[in-house]
């Protein structure tokens, strides 16, 4: 079970990592004065009263970036084992990887020509 | 070592909760989230059987990787459809989207 | 340092179950969909913990990277874009109790048919030799194993990307 | 004359102190109980698992507090460096040369009042600064500090690093949403769009060292650089990793995170006191961590003459190399103007991502060519310098060719645009001025 004892370190790290930054925040919470009043807690709009609640009509652009990132992220899932085992593979593996990457670059070229990646 | 049936019951529970979410929620995005849960339950089962039955060969991990691809593609296209439905109908609750053409 | 005795592992398994099933309940029964997305991310962390317990570290890292890093963010964007984050009072449709009954029946059926036969004997794994990520890399591209699904997966991703972009930005 | 002696002394004194400290520490670490702490506990009558757990948590505390302490020093270095570039002195009142200034800042911040805005989402609001710092701290779990002292040698080191970096993106979304402020939400979404688009070239650039080293674990990558640093066999990948890791932390020219001209100072507008300080501590630590990662992945981590015999000497090599990269990113931060959001996105999707894909394919092809042609160093002589030279020359030339090709492409593109501008009609690729809307 060597895999598990390796990850025990990571498990303890995941437990301790939030504690270390939370410590100063907690100390700050104790030491600092606590006098909340309505004006202080109003949302900060450069001094102007807030208008309407917190949603704003969003552009689809954010979704397009998230989508392209998702597709390239999943491409990463396949490319990491391919790159890892690349030493012991032959030219056929390079061809398979080339085709895999070529198809996804083709999708990127499509989005480029359709100007989907523009910010405006 | 945690026995196999514990993993299977947990995955079955996750699958049932996901099914309940799909069947009962009104908001399309919430339904898609529950579908993601069901896909995760399938993934747990795949990896659990791979670990207990045949840890030597690669079938389990490869299958789980392909489930990732399908889940990602499904989430991407599903959310795109929901966004364009929202643009057309200004609401995402599933009951309003009843006409075949809008 | 041996770490594999039952108490620590069972404790870790219990913690991850709480994360997964609690997150799943949060996704199903939340008022404000952004918090629903956060519950989904919590539940996906639990599933990543399962993969670690099943000694598949590559899948655990991929789960965090793909699901939480990309799909979680995509859901948050979609929730913002469709303005469904204001707290929805009627979350469930009318036949929610039928849905509840069917899902409980589904869970019972799964337990009866799938888990009972396996209940007794599968206490420990068949062997501890676990295939590594390099073997996955070799398997993904070697002729006799998974090279065809490997290429079809990239085709599927291309089609999903182009299709989603065409649908999403239809009006400009 | 006495001024030069004064400056000489000022330089000599810290170096002497540094050497003395290294010698003392070197002798301490050979003490028995420190080396085998767990054995110490077990002899003291504790059952093995509890001892194991305590040894692990001690290791975790040691590995996690190092970056936090270094951050305090970083704040001083940043302010001094920025001051010197703007031709002023920088903090020098508190302490000998302003060294105690960061501690004074921390004490002041501890005293500041934490105002939680009305209608804020309590749980997410408090969790996001902690998650921001956590996502940086977790990277240090796999960092190989010396040949024998490192957190843990994970078999999937690099993938773990990218996965943990995406938790930082989540922290930004949660901060933007939970502070119930329109502009914070807008700022958070612009920053998340930047973070996720720059993660694509980062991951593609990291594929090249994994391919060269044949292993994903950080310790494996450092060991694979015994013969030749990856900086020389994959310079374009190093360039891509450096640029996208700068953008990933929201520093230097990609400074949208808390730019002054930003919408009301970006997503951390509703935070005050120690929570606000945590966002900045996370950012400073992230920049230093990127410097150390640049050193570990591309410039041979702790490798150097006699690195294996004296672990502390190896550690100083690592710190010198990461210091170099860290100062380079500081220089970029203080010298370059800020990039507008649409130029930022066009730069990434139309230059970095295609370049990283071309670089990956070119390196894969050349690596296969070298292996077939027999130029590659055989495994047992992989660590001596001479055997690595043929493979590195071939890869370096490939990188130079790709860079030359890309440069001519850009030059023609620029010339075509100038011609179009002279002829009066704008070609389709000129960068349109910033849109009036968001």
What is the nearest CA distance from C171 to chain A, expressed in angstroms?
10
Picking from B12-21, D178-187, D352-361, which range would have the lowest pLDDT averaged per residue? Answer: D178-187
Which residues, other chains included, contact C11 with Cβ-Cβ below 8 Å and sequence gap of 6+? none
Is D180 in contact with D270 (CB distance < 8 Å)?
yes
- Please report, for chain B, the start and end positions of each structural domain, with discontinuous segments joined by +: 4-96
Picking from D275, D277, D278, D279, the residue whose alpha carbon sits closest to that of residue D122 is D275
pLDDT tens, residue by residue, D208-228: 999 988 888 888 898 888 888
Structure-token match 């799943």, residue found: C24
- Backbone dihedral angles phi then psi of residue B92, each to the nearest 5 degrees: -115, 5
C partners (3+ CB pairs within 8 A) are A, B, D
- Residue D370 near chain A (CB below 8 Å): no
Does residue D413 lie in a domain region? yes
Q: Give the count of domains, chain D.
A: 1
Q: State the Cα–Cα distance between residues D365 and D300, nearest whole angstrom.
A: 24
For residue A64, is it within any domain?
A: yes
Tell me which chain C residue has its CA closest to the CA of residue B23.
Answer: C99
- For C111, counting Cβ atoms within 10 Å of its Cβ (0-12 exposed, 13-18 middle, 19+ buried), the class is middle
Three-state secondary-structure class, residue D335: helix
Where in D157-217 does DSSP place strands (E)?
none
Res. B22: pLDDT tops 70: yes
Residues in chain C with CB shorter than 8 Å from the CB of D167 are 64, 68-69
Å from A73 to nearest chain B CA? 10
User: If you search the block for the tokens 């990787």, which residue do you land on?
Assistant: B65
pLDDT of C1: 34
Q: What is the pLDDT of residue C123?
A: 67
Are C128 and A1 inside 8 Å of each other by CB? yes
- When CB atoms are compared, the residue of D163, D177, D189 closest to C65 is D163
State the Cα–Cα distance between residues D129 and D281, nearest whole angstrom: 10
Closest residue in B to A60 (Cα–Cα): B83
- Give residue D297's pLDDT: 92
Instruction: Point out the residue among D38, D166, D189 whose CB comes nearest to the CB of C65.
Output: D166
Task: Please check whether residue A109 lies inside any domain of the structure.
Answer: yes
Distance from CA of C126 to the nearest CA of D (A): 23
Query: Is C139 within 8 Å of B58 (Cβ atoms)?
Result: yes
Please tell me the distance in Å from B62's CA to the nearest CA on chain A: 10
The parent domain of residue A81 ranges over 3-113
Residue D111, pLDDT above cutoff 90: no
Average pLDDT over every residue of B85-98: 75
User: Which CATH number do you get for residue A81?
Assistant: 1.20.58.1610
Q: CB distance from B69 to chain A under 8 Å?
A: yes
Residues 91-120 of D with CB under 8 A from A: 106, 109-119
Q: Is C86 touching B (CB cutoff 8 A)?
A: no
- Best residue in D170, D175, D368 for a mutation probing chain C (most C CBs within 10 Å): D170
pLDDT along chain C (172 residues), means of 10: 59 91 90 87 93 88 91 88 64 78 91 79 69 79 80 93 86 57
Considering only CB atoms, which chain C residues are within 8 Å of D159? 58, 61-62, 65
pLDDT digits (tens, 9 = 90+) for D322-337: 999 999 988 888 888 8
In a domain, A120, yes or no: no
**Minimal Cα–Cα distance from C98 to chain D, Å?**
33
- Greater confidence (D332 vs D117) lies with D332
Tell me the angle at which helices D101-111 and A2-31 cross, rounded to the nearest 10 degrees.
70
Query: Which band of pLDDT confidence, cut at 50, 70 and 90, is reported for residue D437?
Result: very low
Cβ of A7 and C52 within 8 Å? yes
Residue D106 pLDDT more than 70?
Answer: yes
Q: What are C23-63's pLDDT values in tens digits?
A: 999 998 888 888 889 999 999 999 999 998 888 889 999 99
Q: Looking at the complex, does the CB of residue A62 fall below 8 Å from at least one CB of chain D? A: yes
Report, as an integer, the average pLDDT of D124-138.
89
The reply to whether D41 falls in a domain is no
From the list C81, C111, C156, the residue facing B9 with the nearest CB is C111
CATH class, B4-96 region: mainly alpha
Subunit contact D154:C65, Cβ cutoff 8 A: no
Decide if D182 and A45 are in contact by the 8 Å CB cutoff.
yes
Determine whether the interchain pair D166/C1 forms a contact, defined as Cβ–Cβ distance below 8 Å. Answer: no
A119 within domain boundaries: no
Under the banding of pLDDT at 50, 70 and 90, the label for residue D22 is low
D72 interfacial to chain A (CB closer than 8 Å): no
pLDDT at A102 over 90: yes
CA distance D244 to chain A (A): 14
| Contacts with C166 (C-beta within 8 Å, 6 or more apart), sequence order | none
List chains touching A (3+ CB pairs under 8 A). B, C, D
Distance, CA of D142 to CA of D137 (rounded, Å) = 10
Comparing A112 with A36, the larger pLDDT belongs to: A112
**How far is the alpha carbon of B86 from chain A, nearest alpha carbon, in Å?**
12
Q: Say if D and B touch: at least 3 Cβ pairs within 8 Å.
A: no
- Tokens for C126? 């068949």
Judge whether residue A44 has pLDDT over 80. Answer: no
- D150-201 pLDDT, tens digit per residue, is 778 888 889 999 998 888 888 888 888 887 777 788 888 888 888 898 999 9
Phi-psi region of D338 (alpha: psi -120 to 50; beta: other; left: phi over 0): beta
Confidence of residue D256 (pLDDT cuts 50, 70, 90): low
Question: What pLDDT is stored for residue A119 in this prediction?
Answer: 73
Selected for mutation to probe chain C from B46, B75, B93, B102 (highest C CB count within 10 Å) is B75
Judged by CB atoms within 8 Å, which residues 398-437 of D form the interface with A? Answer: 432, 435
- Write the ipTM: 0.88
The answer to whether residue A118 is domain-embedded is: no
| Nearest C-alpha in B relative to C97 | B24
Residue C38 forms contact with D (CB below 8 Å): yes
Q: Which of D65, D133, D244, D437 to mutate to test the interface with A (most CBs of A within 10 A)?
A: D133
Q: Do chains C and A touch (3 or more CB pairs under 8 A)?
A: yes
Q: Does B32 touch chain C (CB under 8 A)?
A: yes
**Nearest-by-Cβ selection for B80 from C47, C157, C168:** C168
State which residue of chain A sits closest to B69, comparing Cα positions.
Answer: A74
The candidate with the shortest Cα–Cα distance to D200, out of D300, D350, D361, is D350
Alpha-carbon distances, residue B102 vs B80, C165, D26, D274 (angstroms): 17, 20, 76, 52
What mean pLDDT is predicted for residues D104-130?
Answer: 81
For residues A28 and D274, the answer to whether their CB atoms sit within 8 Å is yes
Mean pLDDT of all residues in B34-49: 92
Query: pLDDT exceeding 70 applies to what percent of chain A?
Result: 78
Q: Is residue A70 in some structural domain?
A: yes
What is the arithmetic mean of pLDDT over D139-157?
84
| Over residues D60-66, mean pLDDT | 85
- Looking at chain D, the whole-number percentage of residues with pLDDT higher than 90 is 18
Q: Is residue D156 in a domain?
A: yes
In a domain, D51, yes or no: no
CB-closest option in A1, A67, A74 to B69: A74
Chain D residues in contact with C65 (beta carbon < 8 A): 159, 162-163, 166
Residue pairs spanning C and D at CB distance below 8 A: 68
User: Hey, how many other C-beta atoms are within 10 angstroms of the C-beta on A2?
Assistant: 12
**Two tokens at D205?**
């650039």
Size of interface B-C (CB pairs under 8 A): 254
Average pLDDT, chain D: 81
CB contact under 8 A, A70 and B76: yes
Determine which of C69, C132, C134 to mutate to test the interface with D (most D C-beta atoms within 10 Å): C69
Express each pLDDT in A49-84 by its tens digit. 555 555 555 678 888 899 999 999 999 888 998 998
Whether the predicted pLDDT of B29 surpasses 60: yes
Question: Cβ of B17 and C103 within 8 Å?
Answer: yes
Please report residues of A whose CB lies closer than 8 A to that of B79: 63
Q: Is B3 on the interface with C (CB under 8 A)?
A: yes
Read off the pLDDT band of A1 (50, 70, 90): very low
Predicted confidence band at D258 (pLDDT cuts at 50, 70, 90)? low
CA distance to partner chain B, nearest, from residue A2 (Å): 13
- Give the contacts of D201 (CB within 8 A, at least 6 positions apart): D240, D243, D244, D348, D352, D353, D355, D356
């Amino acid at each position: 079970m060597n895999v598990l004892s390796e990850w025990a370190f990571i498990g303890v790290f995941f437990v301790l990592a939030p504690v270390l930054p939370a410590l100063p925040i907690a100390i700050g919470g104790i030491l600092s004065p606590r006098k909340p009043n309505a004006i202080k807690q109003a949302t900060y709009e450069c001094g102007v009263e807030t208008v309407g609640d917190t949603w704003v009509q969003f552009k689809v652009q954010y979704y397009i970036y998230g989508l392209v990132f998702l597709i390239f992220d999943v491409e990463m899932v396949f490319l990491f084992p391919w790159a890892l085992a690349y030493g012991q593979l032959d030219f056929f593996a390079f061809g398979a990887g080339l085709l895999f990457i070529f198809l996804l670059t083709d999708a990127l070229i499509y989005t480029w020509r359709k100007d989907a990646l523009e910010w405006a | 070592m945690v026995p196999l049936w514990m993993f299977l019951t947990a995955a079955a529970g996750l699958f049932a909760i996901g099914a309940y979410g799909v069947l009962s929620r009104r908001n399309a995005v919430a339904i898609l989230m529950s579908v993601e849960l069901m896909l995760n339950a399938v993934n747990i089962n795949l990896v659990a059987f791979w670990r207990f039955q045949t840890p030597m060969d690669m079938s389990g991990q490869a299958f789980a990787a392909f489930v990732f691809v399908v889940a990602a593609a499904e989430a991407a296209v599903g959310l795109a459809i929901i966004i364009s439905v929202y643009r057309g109908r200004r609401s995402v609750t599933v009951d309003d989207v009843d006409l075949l053409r809008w | 340092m041996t770490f594999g005795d039952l108490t620590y592992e069972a404790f870790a398994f219990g913690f991850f179950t709480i994360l997964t099933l609690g997150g799943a309940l949060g996704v199903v029964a939340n008022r404000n969909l952004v918090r629903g997305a956060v519950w989904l991310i919590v539940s996906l962390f639990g599933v990543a913990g399962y993969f670690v317990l099943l000694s598949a570290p590559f899948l655990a890292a991929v789960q965090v990277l793909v699901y939480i890093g990309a799909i979680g963010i995509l859901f948050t964007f979609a929730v913002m874009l469709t303005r469904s984050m204001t707290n929805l009072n009627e979350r469930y449709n009318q036949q929610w109790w039928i849905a509840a009954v069917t899902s409980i029946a589904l869970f019972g059926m799964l337990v009866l048919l799938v888990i009972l036969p396996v209940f007794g004997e599968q206490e420990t794994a068949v062997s501890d030799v676990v295939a590594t990520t390099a073997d996955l890399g070799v398997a993904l591209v070697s002729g006799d194993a998974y090279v065809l699904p490997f290429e079809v997966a990239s085709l599927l991703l291309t089609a999903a990307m182009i299709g989603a972009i065409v649908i999403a930005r239809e009006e400009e | 004359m006495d001024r030069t002696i004064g400056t000489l002394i000022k330089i000599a004194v810290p170096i002497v102190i540094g050497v003395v400290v290294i010698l003392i520490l070197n002798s301490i670490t050979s003490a028995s109980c420190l080396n085998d702490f767990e054995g110490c506990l077990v002899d003291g009558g504790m059952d093995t698992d509890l001892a194991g757990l305590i040894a692990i948590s001690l290791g975790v505390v040691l590995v996690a507090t190092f970056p936090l302490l270094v951050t305090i020093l970083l704040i001083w270095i940043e302010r001094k460096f920025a001051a010197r570039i703007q031709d002023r002195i920088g903090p020098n009142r508190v302490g000998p040369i302003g060294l105690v200034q960061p501690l004074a800042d921390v004490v002041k911040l501890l005293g500041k009042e934490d105002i939680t805005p009305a209608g804020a989402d309590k749980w997410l609001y408090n969790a996001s600064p902690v998650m921001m710092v956590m996502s940086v701290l977790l990277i240090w779990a796999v960092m190989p500090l010396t040949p024998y002292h490192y957190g843990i040698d994970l078999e999937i080191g690099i993938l773990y690093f990218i996965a943990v970096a995406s938790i930082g993106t989540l922290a930004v979304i949660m901060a933007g949403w939970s502070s119930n402020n329109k502009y914070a939400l807008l700022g958070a979404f612009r920053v998340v769009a930047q973070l996720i688009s720059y993660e694509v070239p980062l991951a593609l650039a990291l594929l090249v060292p994994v391919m060269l080293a044949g292993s994903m674990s950080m310790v494996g990558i450092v060991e694979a650089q015994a013969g030749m640093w990856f900086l020389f066999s994959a310079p374009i990948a190093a360039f891509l990793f450096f640029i996208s890791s700068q953008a990933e932390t929201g520093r230097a020219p990609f400074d949208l995170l808390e730019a002054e001209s930003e919408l009301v100072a970006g997503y951390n507008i509703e935070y005050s006191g120690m929570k606000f300080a945590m966002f900045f501590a996370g950012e400073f630590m992230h920049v230093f961590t990127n410097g150390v990662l640049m050193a570990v992945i591309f410039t041979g981590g702790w490798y150097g003459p006699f690195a294996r015999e004296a672990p502390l000497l190896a550690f100083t090599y690592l710190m010198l190399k990461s210091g170099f990269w860290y100062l380079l990113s500081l220089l970029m931060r203080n010298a370059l103007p800020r990039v507008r959001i649409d130029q930022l996105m066009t730069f990434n999707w139309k230059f970095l991502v295609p370049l990283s894909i071309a670089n990956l394919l070119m390196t894969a092809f050349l690596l296969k060519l070298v292996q077939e042609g027999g130029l590659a160093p055989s495994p047992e002589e992989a660590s001596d310098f001479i055997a690595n030279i043929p493979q590195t020359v071939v890869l370096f030339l490939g990188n130079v060719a790709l860079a030359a090709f890309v440069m001519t492409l850009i030059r023609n593109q620029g010339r075509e645009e100038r011609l179009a501008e002279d002829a009066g009609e704008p070609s389709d690729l000129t960068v349109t001025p910033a849109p009036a809307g968001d």
